[in-house]
Structure 1
Amino acid sequence: MAEWLANGAAALLGLSGGLAVGSGLIALLVILDLIPRLAQLSRGYRLAAWYETAIIAGTVYWMSADFGDWRSPHTGAAEILAALAGLFTGLFVGMLAAALTEVVNVLPIMAKRLRLESKLPALVWALVLGKLAGSLFDWLVYHR
């Protein structure tokens, strides 16, 4: 009986945590207007519904893969698929971070307060290269 209650509590906690994270992500996407901004940048206003469908389909696919404990055969395809998934996830996270920065106008305010207006391109490159170096260190050194 105690095991049944513990499993039920764990399931309830997992579902409520997933619901909270998913709701937060959707709220962030809506507040930042990420989909319309992506449609504007790609000049594909008529494709905005496709962008939304792609996000939902990707979420459902990877949720099913996680819950179903899917495994791919050891043909080398798993590494290629993982690399592609990582690439597209990185693109999405990068666009999300760029949208958040654009909405909040973090860089211009920071550059003005630190008196670095003339160095703004170098500041952006420093942020990009720092993120890249940190990610490479994490993947290639830390997780080996």
Structure 2
Amino acid sequence: MTINVVLVMIIGFAGGLAVGSGFVAFLAVLGIIPRLTQLTKTMKMIHYYEAAVVFGALAGAVASLWNPVLFFTPYILIPLGLAAGVFVGMLAAALTEVLNVFPILAKRIGVDGKIAILLMAFVFGKVIGSLFQWISFVNR
């Protein structure tokens, strides 16, 4: 092996450690999983949540290395996309609840009494951005 290959391997491993450490710190320090189980009243199933996060991270790592192409019909992709959206939304909701981001942001930009409008702006922005990405870049 040449020095370039070894250097790329070391850089890739270091990058993976950095991202993995950040992910674990995000989950552990903020207590995302216990808070999510508390909100959904499924504390007895916390081990399943933790296993799902571990297997999801492993599946994501394997998929990023192998770059698989999956040929699914839209009837399968729609529920998968909805599940992914629910996951991202619940993770974002748990994070914002833990950090109390919206009240702090509303106070800083001077819209204290209009947090609902601020939330709806975020929701509509996310929906419009997702639709734009889907319409512009998917199936082209």
Pair in the same fold by TM > 0.5? yes
TM-score (norm 1): 0.79
**CA shift in 2, pair 1:116/1:84, >3 Å:** same
Gaps of 5+ in 1: none
**CA shift in 2, pair 1:80/1:28, >3 Å:** farther
Q: Distance in 1 between matches of 2:32 and 2:26?
A: 9
Cα displacement string for residues 79-137 of structure 1 (whole angstroms, at most 9, x for unaligned residues): 56555554433333322322222222221123234442332212111111111111221
Cα displacement string for residues 8-51 of structure 1 (whole angstroms, at most 9, x for unaligned residues): 11111111101110110110011221111111122111100110
Q: Among the aligned pairs, what percent are the same residue?
A: 42
Which residue is 2:17 aligned to? 19
Q: Distance in 2 between matches of 1:79 and 1:17?
A: 35
1:32 and 1:99 in contact (8 A); partners too: no
TM-score (norm 2): 0.81
Gaps of 5+ in 2: none
Aligned length: 139
Cα displacement string for residues 47-66 of structure 1 (whole angstroms, at most 9, x for unaligned residues): 00110001111222232333
2:37 and 2:46 in contact (8 A); partners too: yes
Q: Which moved more, 1:118-127 or 1:19-28?
A: 118-127
**CA shift in 2, pair 1:104/1:65, >3 Å:** closer
Which residue is 2:52 aligned to? 54
